[in-house]
Amino acid sequence: MNAVAAPAAVMLPAPRRAVDDTEAVAVLPALFVPEASQWLSTSSGRIAGEGYSWMQAVHWVAESGLYKPRQHRSHGPRSFGPTTVRVAQELAELFPCRPGIEYLVRRTGLSERSVEYHLGMLREAGLLAYIVRGTRVRGERALASEFARMVPLEFDVALGIRTVLRDEAAPAYTRAVTGIAETGRELMARLGKKASRKLRWPRLKMSPKALLADARAGADGGAGTAVSAGSRCTPMGGSADGSSSAGTTSLPPETRLASGAYKSSNSEKSKGKAGGRKSGRWPSNDVGRRYQLGRELTQQVEWLRGCSVPRISWVARAVADAGWSATEVLAWLHLRGTAQTVYRGSGLLAVLLSTAETVLDTPAKRADAIAQWRGAQEAQRRRRIEKVRADRERYDGDWQLPQSRAVHSEMDSAIAQLKSTSRAVLQRLLDDGEGSGSTSYELDVQELAGIRAAAQAGLETGDTTLINDTVHGCGLGEAVRVYGKDLIRRAHQLDRVRRSSLSTYAYGA
């Protein structure tokens, strides 16, 4: 045995070891690539020439057990198993290797989180290296990562594969294979057979509950038959292993094919699916109806805004299962009444809905409750409109009365004194003669100022009696001479506003 094959014999991975095989674990090295070395520029492996040679390395890592995911993380898959090989098989068919998460989810049937786990395991095992790392920015289109399929350095050492760097200026990951040791040929042949086979999973369009029930029935020997991982049913030639999972599938008679009356079951199923749903959405189940009711309640009930939708859905599960709508729940809350101060909306809702489905147990009762609720809403709306109208009529003016009662009393006394003075002067003017409205009276400065002050005070409270009496008794010209055009115009405006139904003025005599 030469010097190259000697270390290879020590590191040659054996088949899956038994549970009590502890000596093999001691001699096999661990296989792990840290995150900083998962890029093509920092990787210690070499680029695989094609998908076939890369799948040989994938199967070697899978059966050697050198990579243990749970030694480096506390979550995710426990081992590098068939699921990881299935994901790698999809990657081996891509050129360039630029898979999107949605693409792998659609091809493998796994969840998005599972696909991310297995891609991370392939990177940590040294089988993938980043060329370009994808990005996910909110509001923009997600960009997929581009990988290079790598062969780990441990694989070359274990099988005695000899590599050479043909161009010294080229990076180390461009090494080319020149030969293999005799001790590694048998293992390489066996890995080649595995790489040439395809792992096929049955793609059954069934729900997880149906799959679980079918598997239990097959295990109990019932009517259900479990589909093996190697069976692949084809519509024309049967299955690959000589058995059919359908059991009752048969070809149509030639008469129906010749007449053109035969329609395949796939087209019938597709039409049934297209007609079974409306507006592109499948009908909701019990959980979906609960969440829909909880979402509507958090949007329409004031004291439930900000509450958790799952919690409200769980609280309202009884009425949701009974077929209640959000309008019916609002009508019931109106009948029960709510607290003025709500500390926990979900707790109050649970108390109010405790007997709802037993009291309003028929659609007719719920319809009556909705009618009462809508009537109360209409009455409340009318009261609110009347209140707003009354407030506007009361506070529409620019000037507002002071709040102090002492100021009110002083203002009332001052206005009464001015009114008495102005009326006495006006009465004296009227007693002097019966003018036709164009008579001019001689007034001194103090009397004229007192009359104008009394008229101004009356206008501030909405009283235009003094000016109107002067206009009617002495004429418009004399009133303009005494009071001025501004006071006469303001008195006219107040009279017009007073006659409107939208305004109300109250003043003392």
Q: Is the pLDDT of residue 20 over 50?
A: no
Residue found by looking up tokens 């080229």 in the block: 170
Give the highest mean pLDDT range of 257-266, 384-393, 458-467, 492-501. 458-467
* pLDDT above 80 for 288: yes
For 362-373, how does the pLDDT look when each residue is reduced to its tens digit (9 = 90+)?
Answer: 999 999 999 998
Q: Show Cβ contacts of residue 194 under 8 Å, excluding neighbours closer than 6 positions.
A: 55, 56, 59
**Is residue 48 helix, strand or coil?**
coil
Q: Which two tokens stand for residue 462?
A: 């909405």
Q: How confident is the model at residue 292 (pLDDT cuts 50, 70, 90)?
A: very high
Residues 126-138: tens digit of each pLDDT: 999 998 888 877 7
Tell me the C-alpha to C-alpha distance, in Å, between residue 456 and each of 72, 180, 238, 443, 487.
Answer: 92, 117, 108, 18, 7
Burial class (CB in 10 A: 0-12, 13-18, 19+), 441: middle
pLDDT band at 249 (very low <50, low <70, confident <90, very high): very low
pTM: 0.39
Q: What is the pLDDT of residues 455-466, one digit of tens each?
A: 888 888 888 888
In the beta sheet, which residues pair with residue 128?
149
pLDDT tens readout for residues 437-459 = 444 556 677 778 888 888 888 88
Taking residues 38-50, report their average pLDDT: 89
- pLDDT by residue (tens digit) across 373-426? 899 888 888 888 888 877 776 666 555 666 777 777 877 777 777 666 655 655
Averaged pLDDT score across all residues of the chain = 75
In sequence order, the 6+-apart residues with CB closer than 8 A to the CB of 337 are: none
pLDDT of amino acid 416: 73
